[in-house]
Amino acid sequence: MKLKITKVLKIVLPLLLGVFLVWYSLSKVSIGEIWQYLKESDYGWIVFGVFLGLLSHMSRAYRWRFQLEPMGYHVRYANSFMAVFATYLINYTIPRAGEVARASILSNYEEVPFEKGFGTIVAERIADLIVMMGIITATLFLQFDFIYGFFIERLNPIKIGILVIVGIIGVLLFFNYLKRSDSKYAQKIKTFISGLVEGLLSIFKMKKKWAFIFHTLFIWAMYVLMFYVTSFAIPDLKGISLGVILVGFISASFSIAATNGGIGSYPLAVYAAFSLFGIAEEPSIAFGWIMWASQTLMIIIFGGLSLVYLPIYNRKNKG
């Protein structure tokens, strides 16, 4: 019974949060104001941003095949492409269910065992996480003076130093506890960390590791560029620096985990980041909605077509 309730809450709570955040963002900037920005936008940049997003997803589908080949599975690109888009679309309904569906699609149509397909998805997420941490690090360097000044103005440097020291000590104590403990909780964490490390190392063991690394960097370069070029569509946002864009991109990326596909949370995350640099509320939220809506529309179209065409394609190409 408790398990059922937990599953329902995992589905319902992000949806409710998304609905609330949609209402909240529209209370800050009305639909009429967003529509006005949309009418005044340069659609050429929006379409270009969607194209860059499409390239990133195509590259992700291609990259996935590098992980499967060493295990003896030569997956057709069409199935990989449709599985990736089906993942994104399904994640709009049930959080993280798309990854399970993605592995299931390959299991059904390419005879790749589910656990192996899912393992490769976990490994690629680790690679994506590393790149994301690299982007965050680069952003900290680009905006160091601003970020440092921002925290110094609002926080006591001594308190920050104490928090950092306490944090380091806490991490060291936690890892010492894991090393010495035989509890089920500690064992689960050690198994999880071991799996992450193994997944990361598996990337460097594959035959086409450099191609995998190239596509990983390409995917994230396209993510950042689609965010950057779409900002050109809003006249009020022209001229903002790459550093500001990166802060907005990072904030928006994390918002996707908060609600299904970032619904409601994405525009507010963009506004929260841009407001730190004194950028007005209206263009920030409007840009967030335009950015989210354009990419979501692409996912709905390609994801929907993928789910419909998958059985047709595989029936035609059986054997």
Low-confidence ranges of the chain (pLDDT < 50): 9, 11
Per-residue pLDDT, 229:
93
Sequence-ordered alpha helix ranges (H) in the chain = 2-28, 31-40, 43-68, 77-91, 97-109, 114-142, 144-154, 157-180, 184-205, 209-231, 242-258, 265-275, 281-316
Q: Which two tokens stand for residue 52?
A: 């860059």
8-state DSSP, 259 = S
Query: What whole-number distance in Å separates Cα of residue 41 and Cα of residue 279?
Result: 17
Length of the chain: 319
Chain center to CA of 167: 27
Per-residue pLDDT, 81:
92
All residues at 6 or more sequence positions from 169 whose CB lies less than 8 Å from its CB, including other chains: none
Q: What is the three-state SS of 49-118?
A: HHHHHHHHHHHHHHHHHHHHHHHCCCCCHHHHHHHHHHHHHHHCCCCCHHHHHHHHHHHHHCCCCHHHHH
* Torsional sign, CA 175, 179, 185, 190: positive
8-state DSSP, 130 = H
pLDDT digits (tens, 9 = 90+) for 187-205: 777 766 665 566 566 666 7
List Cα–Cα distances, 287 to 2, 25, 78, 87, 242, in angstroms: 41, 12, 33, 25, 16
Per-residue pLDDT, 157:
64
Query: What whole-number distance in Å separates Cα of residue 154 and Cα of residue 49?
Result: 36
Q: What pTM value is reported for the model?
A: 0.79
